[in-house]
């Protein structure tokens, strides 16, 4: 067994030995990312303890959960995953083995997914000369960044919480209409904003807004290529395109290195804006993102 595989197995070996006798905790739920905690807190009046497997500031593509997180997972009646995150791809089969009685609900199973091909973020359009090849790289996981998708998923979140935490069913039923209205309002505001935009293209370092772009008629152009740093030639093509097509902004997530984005911003003369897809308060995060979209993509046709 190589060193990497051994390191992946060690936390589980520890948990299997430490938690073999541990009983399920009826007030504990495990989730993939922090925004999911927001929805659960809103529906349950924060009566559940939420074990977030990918903490703030960590990459959901590469994160390895801690023994303490595995301990909490082993006691969770429900694991509510996003689906197709890098950490889930690595750990999902082991997570299910850890707690055979745990119910697993994957949000991605309940919406139309986008294949994570080069075409979705237009890398393929930048192949030098000639027709681009088709490159496929699994499923884009960033479903939570579209208000339309989350509005579709909310009934599934409610149903699964009520089924696994029946003692909170009444609270969930009571809180559901208010949360649904918040999501519906956010969706309608994003629809109205998208309809008003003069420029519909934006650059982004990591393609976290794929579903938002699809659902509201925008075009996302990603800097990161297949999870890797862009080549100098690709950066140069992006800068040229931003100049030629008057693309006004490049977004970058807070956990990413700013250097390449700063180079594009400086050379193309466009705004650089940090966003936080992993923020706890999902509604506030979406409203903040919409404000940035409005500021940078609206009324650009009159700018020099």
pLDDT tens-digit map of 33-67: 999 999 999 999 999 999 999 988 788 888 888 99
- Enclosing domain of residue 156: 3-110+142-177
What gap in Å lies between CA 278 and CA 57, rounded to an integer?
8
The larger pLDDT score, comparing residue 176 to residue 117, is at: 176
Q: pTM for this one?
A: 0.85
Region of residue 78 (phi > 0: left; psi between -120 and 50: alpha; otherwise: beta): beta
Q: What angle do CA 247, 279, 113 make, to 5 degrees?
A: 65
* pLDDT > 50? residue 221: yes
Does 130 map to a domain?
A: no
Q: What mean pLDDT do residues 112-116 have?
A: 89
Listed ranges 16-25, 246-255, 284-293; the one with the highest mean pLDDT: 284-293
185 Rama sector, left if φ>0, alpha if ψ -120 to 50, beta otherwise: alpha
CATH number of the domain that 11 lies in? 3.40.50.1980
Instruction: Determine whether 195 is exposed, middle or buried from the number of CB atoms within 10 Å of its CB (0-12, 13-18, 19+).
Output: exposed
Check pLDDT > 90 for residue 263.
Answer: yes
Q: CA 154, CA 85: separation in Å to the nearest integer?
A: 19
Does residue 264 belong to any structural domain of this protein?
no
Assigned domain for 22 exists: yes
| 303 confidence band (pLDDT: 50, 70, 90) | very low
Highest mean pLDDT among 117-121, 191-195, 252-256: 191-195
Residue 116 covered by a domain = no
At 151-169, the pLDDT tens digits run 999 999 999 999 999 999 9
216 occurs within a structural domain: no
pLDDT at position 19: 47
pLDDT category at 298 given cuts 50, 70, 90 is very high
Is the pLDDT reported for residue 281 higher than 90?
yes
Give the per-residue pLDDT at 7: 45
Q: Tell me what pLDDT residue 257 has.
A: 87
The count of domains in the chain is 1
- Residues with Cβ within 8 Å of residue 264, at least 6 apart in sequence: 203, 223, 235, 238, 239, 242, 250, 270, 272
Q: What is the mean pLDDT of the chain?
A: 86
Mean pLDDT on 224-236: 87
Is position 167 within any domain? yes
Domain-located, residue 15: yes
| 11 vs 108: which has the higher pLDDT | 108
Total number of residues shown for the chain: 304
Alpha helices in the chain (DSSP H): 3-18, 34-44, 67-74, 86-98, 147-164, 169-196, 210-216, 232-244, 259-268, 282-297
Question: Of all helices (H) and strands (E), which one includes residue 249?
Answer: strand 249-253
Q: pLDDT at position 129, please?
A: 30
Other beta carbons within 10 angstroms of residue 113's beta carbon come to: 17
11 pLDDT above the threshold of 90: no
pLDDT value, residue 136: 42
In a domain, 135, yes or no: no
């Amino acid at each position: 067994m190589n060193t990497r595989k051994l390191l992946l197995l060690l936390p589980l070996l520890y948990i299997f030995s430490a938690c073999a006798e541990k009983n399920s905790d009826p007030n504990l739920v495990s989730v993939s990312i922090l925004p999911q905690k927001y929805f659960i807190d809103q529906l349950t009046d924060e009566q559940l303890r939420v074990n977030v497997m990918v903490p703030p500031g960590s990459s959901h593509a590469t994160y390895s959960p801690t023994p303490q997180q595995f301990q909490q997972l082993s006691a969770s009646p429900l694991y509510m995953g996003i689906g197709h995150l890098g950490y889930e791809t690595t750990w999902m089969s082991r997570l299910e083995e850890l707690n055979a009685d745990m119910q697993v609900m994957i949000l991605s199973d309940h919406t139309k997914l986008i294949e994570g091909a080069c075409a979705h973020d237009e890398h393929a359009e930048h192949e030098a000369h000639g027709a681009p090849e088709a490159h496929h790289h699994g499923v884009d996981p960033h479903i939570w960044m579209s208000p339309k998708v989350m509005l579709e998923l909310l009934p599934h979140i409610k149903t699964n919480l009520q089924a696994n935490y029946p003692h909170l069913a009444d609270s969930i039923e009571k809180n559901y209409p208010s949360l649904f209205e918040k999501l519906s309002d956010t969706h309608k505001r994003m629809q109205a904003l998208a309809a008003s935009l003069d420029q519909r293209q934006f650059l982004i370092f990591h393609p976290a807004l794929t579903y938002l772009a699809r659902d509201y008629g925008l075009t996302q152009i990603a800097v990161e290529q297949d999870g890797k740093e862009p080549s100098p030639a690709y950066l140069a093509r992006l800068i040229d395109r931003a100049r030629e097509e008057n693309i006004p902004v490049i977004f970058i997530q807070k956990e990413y290195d700013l250097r390449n984005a700063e180079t594009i911003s400086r050379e193309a003369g466009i705004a650089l804006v940090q966003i936080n897809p992993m923020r706890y308060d999902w509604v506030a995060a979406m409203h903040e993102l919409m404000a940035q979209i409005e500021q940078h993509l609206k009324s650009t046709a009159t700018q020099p």
